[in-house]
Amino acid sequence: MASPVLVTGGTGRLGRLVVARLQDAGCDVRVLARHDRGAPRHVSFFTADLRTGEGIDPAVSAVAAIIHCATSTRGDAEATRNLVTAAARAGSPHVVYVSIVGIDHIASWGYPKAKLEAERIVTSSGLPWTILRVTQRETAGPGDPAHKDGLAPRPPANDGRRLAPRPPSPHHPYRKRP
Ligand SMILES: NC(=O)c1ccc[n+]([C@@H]2O[C@H](COP(=O)([O-])OP(=O)(O)OC[C@H]3O[C@@H](n4cnc5c(N)ncnc54)[C@H](OP(=O)(O)O)[C@@H]3O)[C@@H](O)[C@H]2O)c1
């Protein structure tokens, strides 16, 4: 069998979808997260904390690629540094980092700033890498009525129909003068 692919944060909103696509493609999938809360079926689960570095080494051992979806409100740069350091010790896996579209325009504060720094850590790691700057996506998660194995995308709120344009507010500060 081909070398496994590790999905960090594979129990999260995006990570679950990534795991499902990899499984559909016949990949041997590993998931890394701090808690095994309903991890997808038929994956090898590794309990690890990317921020402390605890438990990362066995998860990255002999993997062909790492799709880095793990995130939290704080410490993403530090977590990413711990991940790529462990990955480089283990070999030369391709690291795919999931970032946010337009991140370089909004990165002056907290979370986006940490993500931009995480991008820089990945690109300067010496490992082969890909940065994906993706748009916001609503996905079903545990506890959501639309959630089925964590993989069911939520239907559009308006049933797919276009919303009617709203008339401009007379109080809008930027409305055109008559
Ligand atoms: N969702 C979107 O629409 C969207 C859009 C653009 C970009 N992105 C990016 O895509 C990535 C995934 O987002 P998401 O919405 O799927 O996040 P999420 O649902 O909050 O999932 C976060 C995942 O990371 C794990 N995690 C958090 N801290 C960790 C740590 N210290 N060590 C190991 N695992 C940890 C969590 O599991 P535990 O808590 O059990 O550890 C969970 O599996 C993020 O980088 C985000 O910026 C998402």
Mutate which of 29, 34, 68 to test ligand 1's pocket (most atoms within 8 Å of Cβ)? 34
> Any idea which residue has 């438990």 for tokens?
55
- Is the CB–ligand 1 distance for residue 12 below 6 Å? yes
- Is the CB–ligand 1 distance for residue 21 below 6 Å? no
Exposed / middle / buried, residue 56 (Cβ in 10 Å: 0-12, 13-18, 19+)? buried
Q: Residue 127 to residues 77, 78, 80, 92, 173: CA-CA distances in angstroms?
A: 16, 17, 13, 6, 50
The pair of three-digit structure tokens given for residue 76, joined into one six-digit string: 């993403």
- Is the CB–ligand 1 distance for residue 103 below 6 Å? no
Is residue 176, in this structure, part of any structural domain at all?
Answer: no
C-alpha 76 to ligand 1 mean position (Å): 10
Is residue 174, in this structure, part of any structural domain at all?
Answer: no
Is residue 41, in this structure, part of any structural domain at all?
Answer: yes
Q: CA torsion, points 119, 139, 108, 123, in degrees to nearest 10?
A: 0
C-alpha 176 to ligand 1 mean position (Å): 42
> Which position has the higher pLDDT, 102 or 171?
102
The pair of three-digit structure tokens given for residue 127, joined into one six-digit string: 């490992």
Taking only the tens place, the pLDDT of each residue in 108-152 is: 789 999 999 999 999 999 999 999 999 987 654 544 444 444 444
- Is the CB–ligand 1 distance for residue 100 below 6 Å? yes
42 neighbors 49 (Cβ within 8 angstroms): no
Instruction: Report the number of distinct structural domains present in the chain.
Output: 1
Exposed / middle / buried, residue 67 (Cβ in 10 Å: 0-12, 13-18, 19+)? buried
Is residue 139, in this structure, part of any structural domain at all?
Answer: no
Cα–Cα distance, 17 to 67 (Å, whole number): 12
Is residue 68, in this structure, part of any structural domain at all?
Answer: yes
The three-state secondary structure class of 139 is coil
Is residue 73, in this structure, part of any structural domain at all?
Answer: yes
- Is the CB–ligand 1 distance for residue 73 below 6 Å? no
Is residue 15, in this structure, part of any structural domain at all?
Answer: yes
| Rounded CA Rg of the chain | 19
Query: What domain range includes position 126?
Result: 5-134
Taking only the tens place, the pLDDT of each residue in 29-80 is: 999 999 998 777 789 999 999 999 999 999 999 999 999 999 999 999 999 9
Look up the CATH number of the domain holding residue 41.
Answer: 3.40.50.720
Is residue 81, in this structure, part of any structural domain at all?
Answer: yes
